[in-house]
């Protein structure tokens, strides 16, 4: 039993390390709000700056989740038209 646990930890440990790195990269870096030094108002907010690839993937997944109901039938219909045209 102990050998199986060692094997699992040797196999899955690098995988989990890589997943952790990817998830930290996908979240991006926190950019704090720059307060005006001459102002008496202090703003304690900021935003997360994500990589462009992550933003694009999020937009594509949002589009898919919103419009999958017509994308799938349209793709099937387009494939049927192409197959029918190639048969002739």
Domain layout of the chain by residue ranges: 1-49, 51-88
How would residue 2 be classed by pLDDT, with cut points 50, 70 and 90? low
Strand ranges in the chain using DSSP code E only, listed in sequence order: 29-32, 46-49
Task: Name the pTM for this structure.
Answer: 0.59
For residues 28 and 50, the answer to whether their CB atoms sit within 8 Å is: yes
The answer to whether the CB of 9 falls within 8 A of the CB of 23 is no
Could you identify the residue written with the tokens 């993937």?
Answer: 57
φ and ψ at residue 43, rounded to 5 degrees:
-110, 125
CA R_g for the chain: 24
pLDDT in tens, 34-82: 877 788 877 788 888 999 999 999 999 999 999 999 999 999 999 999 9
């Amino acid at each position: 039993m102990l050998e199986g646990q060692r094997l699992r930890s040797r196999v899955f440990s690098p995988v989990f390390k890589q997943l952790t790195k990817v998830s930290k990269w996908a979240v991006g870096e926190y950019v704090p709000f720059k307060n005006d030094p001459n102002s008496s108002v202090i703003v304690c907010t900021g935003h997360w700056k994500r990589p462009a690839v992550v933003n694009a993937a999020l937009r594509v997944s949002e589009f898919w989740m919103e419009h999958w109901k017509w994308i799938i039938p349209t793709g099937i219909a387009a494939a049927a038209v192409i197959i029918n045209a190639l048969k002739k």
